[in-house]
């Protein structure tokens, strides 16, 4: 059971539906006009709990998906890890350093394992600059920039 | 006639350009495995932020039906469906290619797609306005019942199990409740976070679920280089024309009718068409070995489906599939409200988009037939080259929805959630559909209950709502029984992404 991914997912869903139920109990179920803001959330959370219990039963009795099978293996682990790292860094940096630097590091981290680092670096900066120009000048979509305008 | 006015709008310079851009990107999306029309439209949404509604929707619609054409190329040439609805084309299209008839398979698919797509556009022209008129008489109970049918179709017929589909649907509905309740103004599930007051954004969720998670899943698949067969003669032999045209006509009708049903999907008409052609064939043993009807029928059906599926969106305002749900979101983003009033309040927009689809189908026929081999080569581009582009565009899209880093964080979270959901076989598609419909479902349910003084039985006093709810129950029970007996078959895959 400990290695069964469906069980863990079911537990997470039970927690989610529990929080949903707890929050909906603080909302008005009905008022003089009819159903209140808590009406649908309460029903949804109850139905979700019931379905999650069925899902847990199904996961235990029929389809066992192992937790170990969830996670990427081999090279994919590093590729996905670098991508997620790049995304988090982008979110942390973009409003300070601007799109070109934040975007370049994201593209660089996603390409450095496939190409030589020098080419990946140059391509990353080039693509980020092209995207900035395309979105801002051609499409009129404002991207986050630093005080130098990039 | 309004359609002629629509053509005059659609054929202005920039609208023609965006139509061409949309169908070209649609072909690309269809050709590239792992990138479906839902992802393609979601990724291109940010580009349309600063555009007017007409060119924006022309382009995004072009991606939708263009992808149906594109998916055929890889099915025939490398036995890999570019998008879900083309999976049946692999059964006979690839054997035809191995027999040296790749060109004929692609030609027949292209002609069938053009006929199916064009006839279904005529269907929109003649069925759309009367249906919109009729929908003006619908009240909240009818809208609620229609949306329930749509949701039940998605949950009951798709995915590996009804339980998993229900979970996905309930998650989507729950997420739609975050933010301010539209009827009372109460804040729900914001946990004191100001960024949640306006709720979650469907573009951000879509980018995460269909952009980031698909890239993560794609990174785990090893790339392989395909060898393309020669593309020769494009047209069938003389004796094959009659059975081919009959298959095309049947596929056209089937696809269009199924497209009208909320919650249906482009895979259903393709599969049904294949089954019908096989049953009607004089020699069913030819199927699976290069039967031309096995290519003509399904390919026509999935393109004809596109036109039919747009009718519930335009006339009733209910998206019938996750891809149409993204289009629905695009409408809202550009200040348009899909539904019965669309034909009246925004007639110029509606007819321009419909006219652009006629034009787009012609463009696709021209692009497909002589350039099939070129598109096949596109399919051999390693997916890893595209991932950085998909991710950076997803990030741009997520940020631009509200100019907040918060949305990038939400996108990352949903990307990881989507990845895990795919691994544990919980379908992602119902989340987007129910998220988009969530507020509409709640509004129509609450308004109905107010009207019926709180009694649920009131729904059954309205004939149309009663029929639809009973139908929904039958579909749900049927889907559950099929799931228990493991008879979902091809529909079990998480499709149309």
CB contact under 8 A, A70 and B424: yes
Q: Which helix (H) or strand (E) holds B180?
A: strand B179-180
Chain B's closest residue to A30, CA to CA, is: B454
With beta carbons less than 8 A apart as the criterion, state whether B39 and B211 touch: yes
Chain A residues with CB inside 8 Å of B14's CB? none
Which residues of B, range 347-366, sit inside 8 Å of A by Cβ? none
Residue B180 bridge partners (DSSP): B187
Nearest beta carbon to residue A107 from set B161, B216, B388: B388
CB contact under 8 A, B454 and A142: no
Tell me, letter by letter, the H, E, C secondary structure of B261-321.
CCCCCCHHHHHHHHHHHHHHCCCHHHCCCCCCHHHHHHHHHHHHHHHHHHHHHHHHCCCCC
Domain membership of residue A84 as a residue range: 75-138
Strand residues in chain A grouped as ranges (E): none
Q: Are residues A65 and A117 in the same domain?
A: no
- Does residue A115 belong to any structural domain of this protein? yes
> Alpha-carbon distance B253 to B258, whole Å?
9
In a domain, A128, yes or no: yes
In this structure, is residue A35 part of a structural domain? yes
Mutation target for A interface from B392, B404, B454, B488: give the one with most A CBs within 10 A.
Answer: B392
Question: Of A52, A69, A86, which marks where a domain is finished?
Answer: A69
Which of A48, A69, A90 is at the close of a domain? Answer: A69
Q: Clarify whether residues A47 and A61 are in a common domain.
A: yes
Contact between A41 and B454 using a beta-carbon 8 Å cutoff: no
Enumerate the domain spans of chain B. Answer: 2-486
The residue out of A28, A50, A69 marking a domain boundary is A69
The H or E element containing residue B188 is strand B187-188
- Which residues in chain B are closer than 8 Å to A16, comparing Cβ atoms? 171, 174
Domain count, chain A: 2
B419/chain A closest Cα distance in angstroms: 9
> Same domain for A92 and A62?
no
User: Is residue A86 assigned to a domain?
Assistant: yes
Q: Which residues pair with B179 in a beta bridge?
A: B188
Q: Do B184 and A114 touch (CB under 8 A)?
A: no
Task: Specify the 3-state DSSP secondary structure of B179.
Answer: strand
Instruction: Give the span between the Cα atoms of B231 and B106, in whole angstroms.
Output: 9
> Which residues 416-435 in chain B show a CB within 8 A of chain A?
416, 420, 423-426
A82 inside 8 A of chain B by CB: no
**Interface residue of A24, A51, A119, A120 to substitute, partner B, most B CBs within 10 Å:** A51
- Pairs of CB atoms within 8 A across A/B: 151
Q: Specify whether A9 is located in the same domain as A63.
A: yes
Q: Are residues A55 and A89 located together in one domain of the fold?
A: no
Residues A83 and A124 in one domain: yes
C-beta atoms surrounding A145 within 10 Å: 16
CB B111 within 8 A of CB B72: no
- Cβ pair B392:A76 closer than 8 A: no
Q: What is the pLDDT of residue B159?
A: 60
Mean pLDDT of A131-141: 84
| Ordered per-residue pLDDT tens for chain B, 497 residues | 788 888 888 888 889 999 999 999 888 888 876 677 887 888 788 778 888 899 999 999 998 888 888 888 888 887 877 777 788 888 899 899 888 888 899 899 999 999 999 999 999 889 888 888 888 888 999 999 988 988 887 777 666 678 888 999 999 999 999 999 878 888 999 999 999 998 998 888 988 988 899 889 888 876 656 667 777 788 888 889 999 999 999 999 999 998 888 777 788 888 889 989 988 888 888 888 899 999 999 999 989 998 898 998 888 888 878 788 888 888 988 888 888 888 888 888 989 999 999 999 999 988 887 787 787 777 777 777 888 988 998 898 888 888 899 999 999 999 999 999 988 888 887 888 888 888 889 999 999 999 998 888 999 999 999 999 999 998 888 877 776 666 555 444 444 44
Question: Is B188's CB within 8 Å of A37's CB?
Answer: yes
Burial of B57 per CB tally in 10 Å (0-12, 13-18, 19+): buried
Instruction: Give a yes or no: residue A146 inside a domain.
Output: no
Q: Are residues A43 and A85 in the same domain?
A: no
- Looking at the structure, do residues A30 and A83 belong to the same domain, yes or no? no
Q: Which of A37, A91, A95 sits opposite B184 (nearest CB)?
A: A37
B220 close to A (CB below 8 A): yes
This prediction's pTM: 0.84
**Does residue A101 lie in a domain region?**
yes
Does the CB of B168 have a partner CB in chain A at under 8 Å?
A: no
Q: How far is A74 from chain B (nearest CA, A)?
A: 9
**Does one domain contain both A18 and A65?**
yes
Q: Is residue A20 part of a domain?
A: yes
| Residue A147 is assigned to a structural domain of this protein | no
Using the Cβ of B183 and the Cβ atoms of chain A, whether some distance falls under 8 Å is answered with: yes
* Burial of A2: CB neighbours in 10 Å, binned 0-12, 13-18, 19+: exposed
Question: Which chain A residue lies closest to B416 (C-alpha atoms)?
Answer: A84
What are the chain A neighbours of B395 within 8 Å (beta carbons)? 87, 90, 103, 106
Of B173, B184, B416, nearest to A36 by CB-CB distance is B184
How many residues are recorded in chain A?
A: 150
* Phi, psi at B187, each rounded to 5°: -85, 135
């Amino acid at each position: 059971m400990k290695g069964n991914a469906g069980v863990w997912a079911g537990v997470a869903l039970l927690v989610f539906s529990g929080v949903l139920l707890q929050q909906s109990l603080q909302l008005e179920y009905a008022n003089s006009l009819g159903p209140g803001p808590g009406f649908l959330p309460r029903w949804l959370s109850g139905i979700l709990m019931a379905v999650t219990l069925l899902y847990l039963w199904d996961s235990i009795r029929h389809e066992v998906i192992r937790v170990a099978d969830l996670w990427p293996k081999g090279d994919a682990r590093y590729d996905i890890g670098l991508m997620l790292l790049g995304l988090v860094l982008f979110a942390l940096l973009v409003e300070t350093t601007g799109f070109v630097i934040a975007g370049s590091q994201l593209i660089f981290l996603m390409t450095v394992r496939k190409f030589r680092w020098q080419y990946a670096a140059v391509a990353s900066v080039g693509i980020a600059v092209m995207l900035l120009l395309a979105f801002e000048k051609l499409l009129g979509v404002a991207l986050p920039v630093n005080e130098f305008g990039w | 006639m309004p359609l002629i006015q629509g053509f005059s709008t659609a054929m202005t310079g920039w609208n023609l350009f965006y139509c061409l851009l949309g169908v070209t990107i649609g072909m690309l999306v269809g050709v590239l495995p792992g990138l479906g029309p839902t992802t393609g439209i979601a990724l291109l949404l940010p580009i349309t932020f600063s555009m007017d509604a007409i060119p924006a929707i022309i382009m995004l619609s072009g991606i939708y039906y263009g992808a149906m054409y594109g998916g055929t190329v890889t099915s025939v040439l490398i036995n890999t469906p570019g998008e879900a609805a083309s999976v049946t084309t692999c059964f006979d299209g690839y054997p035809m290619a191995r027999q040296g008839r790749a060109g004929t398979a692609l030609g027949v698919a292209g002609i069938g797609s053009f006929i199916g797509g064009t006839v279904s556009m005529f269907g929109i022209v003649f069925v759309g306005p009367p249906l919109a008129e009729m929908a003006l008489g619908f009240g909240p109970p009818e809208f609620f019942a229609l949306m329930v049918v749509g949701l039940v179709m998605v949950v009951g017929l798709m995915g590996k199990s009804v339980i998993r589909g229900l979970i996905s649907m309930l998650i989507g509905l729950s997420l739609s409740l975050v933010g301010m309740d539209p009827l009372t103004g109460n804040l729900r599930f914001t946990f004191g976070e100001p960024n949640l007051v306006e709720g979650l954004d469907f573009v951000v969720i879509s980018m995460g679920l269909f952009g980031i998670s698909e890239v993560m899943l794609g990174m785990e698949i090893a790339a392989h280089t395909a060898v393309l067969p020669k593309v020769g003669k494009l047209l069938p032999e003389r004796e094959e024309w009659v059975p081919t045209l009959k298959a095309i006509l049947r596929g056209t009708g089937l696809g269009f009718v199924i497209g009208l049903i909320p919650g249906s999907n482009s895979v259903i008409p393709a599969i049904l068409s294949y089954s019908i052609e096989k049953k009607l064939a004089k020699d069913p043993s030819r199927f699976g070995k290069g039967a031309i009807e096995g290519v003509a029928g399904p390919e026509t059906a999935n393109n004809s489906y596109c036109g039919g599926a747009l009718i519930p969106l335009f006339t009733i305002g209910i998206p019938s599939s996750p891809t149409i749900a993204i289009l629905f979101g695009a409408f809202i983003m550009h200040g348009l409200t899909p539904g019965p009033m669309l034909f009246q309040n925004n007639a110029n927009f509606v007819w321009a988009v419909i006219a652009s689809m006629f034009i787009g189908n012609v463009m696709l026929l021209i692009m497909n037939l002589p350039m099939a081999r070129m598109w096949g080569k596109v399919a051999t581009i390693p997916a890893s080259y595209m991932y950085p582009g998909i991710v950076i565009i997803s990030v741009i899209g997520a940020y631009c929805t509200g100019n907040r880093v918060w949305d990038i964080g939400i996108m990352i979270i949903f990307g990881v959630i989507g990845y895990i959901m795919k691994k544990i076989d919980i379908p992602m598609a119902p989340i987007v559909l129910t998220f988009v419909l969530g507020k509409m479902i709640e509004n129509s349910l609450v308004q109905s209950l107010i009207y019926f003084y709180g009694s649920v039985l009131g729904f059954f006093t309205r004939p149309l709502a009663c029929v639809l709810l009973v139908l929904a129950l039958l579909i749900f029970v049927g889907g559950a029984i099929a799931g228990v007996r493991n008879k979902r078959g091809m529909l079990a895959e998480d499709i149309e992404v």
